[in-house]
Amino acid sequence: MRKASAKGLDLPISFKDSVNVCRFIRGKEVLKAIKLLDEVIEKRRAIPFFRYKRDMPHRRGKLGPGRFPVKECKYIKKVIENAVANAKAKGLDVQKLYISKIEANRAVSKEKVKLGFKKSTHILVEVEEMMEKKTEEKAMESAEDKRGEEK
């Protein structure tokens, strides 16, 4: 398995919203994830919130509580695009990439404002190439054929 990664450090975005956006796109293909984030930025699709959802209204359909965290999606999309660029530099096929790991971590507030702390978040994205199922299935079939011939 070949991987590529990218980090976004001290991004001026909400940690709580970032956690839900990361959960929404984790495990998806990279091109599909970017398309979904574009739909959220255009406010055509809401992000379902599973954590930090107190007093949040439900959205139309079977979505449940959700929001449109546009600013978070813009920054996370940039980090994903950086990971894709790193994968291209390593010679990976962009069509086969999926998001294997994405996480949001709280960053230390470096600047204090009189009214409170400035929010900042670290985002880590790792992408991997998908293994082809056909080659795996062929390897399994050939292994089964060898076992059958030995008996």
CATH number of the domain to which 100 belongs: 3.90.470.10
Give the pLDDT band of residue 20 (cuts 50, 70, 90). Answer: very high
pLDDT digits (tens, 9 = 90+) for 108-125: 866 654 456 678 899 999
What pLDDT sits at residue 66?
85
Angle at 142 between CA 136 and CA 144, to 5 degrees: 105
Burial class (CB in 10 A: 0-12, 13-18, 19+), 126: middle
What pLDDT sits at residue 65?
87
Which of the two residues, 39 and 55, has the higher pLDDT score? 39
What pLDDT sits at residue 119?
80
Domain count, the chain: 1
What is the mean pLDDT of the segment spanning 10-32? 94
Up-side HSE of residue 32: CA atoms within 13 Å toward CB? 10
What is the mean pLDDT of the segment spanning 126-141? 72
Question: What distance in Å separates the CA atoms of residue 25 and residue 18, rounded to the nearest whole number?
Answer: 11
Contact (Cβ atoms closer than 8 angstroms) between residue 120 and residue 11: yes
Give the pLDDT band of residue 134 (cuts 50, 70, 90). Answer: low
Contact (Cβ atoms closer than 8 angstroms) between residue 80 and residue 113: no
**Statement: residue 6 has pLDDT above 70:** yes
Question: What distance in Å separates the CA atoms of residue 126 and residue 119, rounded to the nearest whole number?
Answer: 24
What is the mean pLDDT of the segment spanning 114-137? 77
Parent domain of 49: 3-150
**φ and ψ of 23, to 5 deg:** -65, -35
For the beta carbon of residue 138, count every other beta carbon within 10 angstroms: 11
